[in-house]
Chain A
Amino acid sequence: DVKVTQSSRYLVKRTGEKVFLECVQDMDHENMFWYRQDPGLGLRLIYFSYDVKMKEKGDIPEGYSVSREKKERFSLILESASTNQTSMYLCASSITPSQWGTGTDTQYFGPGTRLTVL
């Protein structure tokens, strides 16, 4: 079974803090994704990566950065956390490179990190 793990289930931070959210997958997948999920808005793509050290902006990258130094690990960084970044953050991985083709494989999701910024 594919396993995607996220470093924390719940996290509480203060405004202005630098926040790291970690995601690890154990299936040697090419692609990794970071989404945020807010009530009434569904999941929105923040960043994704299709290879080590490669990253692409998603739909809402402002206020976030990412790092992928190893294939299995994808980190989301909030440089200076703000209250509007309070949300559920979900990491996912998939096999097929997304930068071309139809990408018919499914994405496997981690359990999510619920981040509260005070």
Chain B
Amino acid sequence: KQEVTQIPAALSVPEGENLVLNCSFTDSAIYNLQWFRQDPGKGLTSLLLIQSSQREQTSGRLNASLDKSSGRSTLYIAASQPGDSATYLCAARRFSGGYNKLIFGAGTRLAVHP
């Protein structure tokens, strides 16, 4: 059974720091891995999607990497800002039970203080 784990569960950093959020998954037979952002009381917004054949994706100050063999993905946030404060979730997509689905981690709650 696929499990997705995110460490740390919470993180508080001063503005300007570069930081890394970690995501691990138990089954390497995934189609892709996706990172989402969730603001308090709101739905999820997709940040980056890495296909299984890719090693990384970049969008602005965000860079996500994928290492299928070790079952790991990282989200790197450069020069963090207070506006980056949110919960970040990773989700692995795999085919199971006749359909493909996203399996989510529990998230990392990030606070960036001025």
Contact = CB atoms under 8 A, between A and B. Distances in A.
Interface stretch (A11-19, A63-71, A77-85, A104-112): A104-112
- Looking at chain A's contact residues, the main secondary structure is loop
A112 B100 contact: no
Interface residues on A, range: 20 to 34
- Looking at chain B's contact residues, the main secondary structure is strand
Contacts, number: 68
Interface string A11-35: 0000000000000000000000000
A94 to B, nearest CB: 10
A55 B41 CA distance: 27
Interface of A: 4, 9, 39-45, 48, 50, 56, 58, 90, 92, 98-104, 106-112, 114
15 contacts: A40-B9, A43-B91, A48-B99, A48-B101, A92-B44, A98-B100, A100-B99, A102-B93, A103-B31, A103-B93, A104-B32, A106-B49, A107-B46, A108-B46, A110-B43
